[in-house]
Amino acid sequence: MQTVEKLTDTLKNNRLKITPQRLMIFKVLENNTSHPSAEEIYKKVKKVYPSVSFTTIYKTLETLRDLGEIKELTIDKDRKHYDPDISVHHHFICSDCREIYDIHEAFTANIKLDDSLRKDFSVSGFQISFFGVCSKCSNSDRF
Amino acid sequence: MQTVEKLTDTLKNNRLKITPQRLMIFKVLENNTSHPSAEEIYKKVKKVYPSVSFTTIYKTLETLRDLGEIKELTIDKDRKHYDPDISVHHHFICSDCREIYDIHEAFTANIKLDDSLRKDFSVSGFQISFFGVCSKCSNSDRF
DNA sequence: ATTTGTGCAAAACCTTTGCATTGAC
DNA sequence: GTCAATGCAAAGGTTTTGCACAAAT
């Protein structure tokens, strides 16, 4: 996602309106690496704008996704998560605490799209989901 | 997933009961590479057992997953899909028709778990989701 | 003034659960 | 006879939608 400042320009260029609620959602997402769910964003925005609705959260997230500013993550079986980091990277989800961690690793360069794959599919991207238990949870398991 | 025959033994060994509904669900899943959703399984079972319920479908899928016989796929943002092929492989989901295809490719061998990754996480598995449009859909787009 | 965004309430979905009944063993 | 499975209805949780009103441009 761009900076909030640049993002407001992008909205203007698309004849979209800049509202306090939206600005707050942008601020919550800016530099956010916690992969929040809609509810987590809602709760944070609600602290500043108590009357904000889920409708606004979902609509704004949809708008940001359509602008290509954020990515909707389908990795948690229970709910969607949102990622303002649209660069190529992958995720680890802890089966215990459900937290999602970023994985920026060099090995991803080793994934070459095979010709047979190219023939059958027009691949626009891929995403690796790692499963397991994070060190925080595996440590606490010992006690 | 094992063959239906072997699966019945596994159930017996776990003191689980073999019912006509379950057998039908097993048959629907056996050698099924279409990654069906619960509803798709429900519809097929319903043709033979019209009074079958979603409860039975979901409960049986849960049992099979807990036995390690099938995998629950979190790749489609709208619903879960079920895969009786528990061998290591990956998937391509068409953003147009939502169909999920298997990807069995040699390049997956190139993914080595980095030491830094091993240090922070106890990785039990990973799964690559490819996104894009399948050839069926990209062909039909032309008309 | 126009047009988009907001928020409420309700709906739409998918999935799970409580419970009485049925059926497998 | 015992215990697990089934099926119904209801509930739960997430996400979407219709619509009137508010706010941004």
- Residues 6 or more apart whose CB falls under 8 angstroms from that of A10 comprise A2, A67, A69
- Which residue ranges form the domains of chain A, and what is each CATH number? 4-83 (1.10.10.10), 90-139 (3.30.1490)
* % of chain A with per-residue pLDDT over 90: 76
Confidence bin at B119 (pLDDT 50/70/90): confident
Report d(CA B141, CA B143) in Å as an integer.
6
pLDDT of A110 reads 58
Q: Which DSSP state fits B95? A: T
- Read off the pLDDT of residues A40-90 as tens digits, 9 standing for 90 and up: 999 999 999 999 999 999 999 999 999 999 999 999 999 999 999 999 899
A20-24, A31-35, B110-114, B121-125: segment of lowest average pLDDT:
B110-114
Closest CB to A121 among B119, B122, B130: B130
What pLDDT does residue B120 have? 84
Instruction: Give the pLDDT score at A101.
Output: 95
User: Per residue in B17-54, pLDDT tens?
Assistant: 999 999 999 999 999 999 999 999 999 999 999 999 99
Chain D: bases < 7 Å from a protein Cβ: 3-9, 13-18, 23-25
Chain B residues 17-76 with Cβ under 7 Å of strand D are 17, 19, 21-22, 49, 51-56, 59-60, 63
Instruction: Specify which residue's alpha carbon is closest to the C1' of nucleotide D8.
Output: B53
Among residues B59, B84, B80, B83, the alpha carbon closest in space to that of B4 is found at B84
Residue of B119, B121, B130 lying closest to A123 (CB–CB):
B130
Q: What is the pLDDT of residue A17?
A: 97
**What pLDDT score was predicted for residue A44?**
98
B60 CA: nearest nucleotide by C1': D5
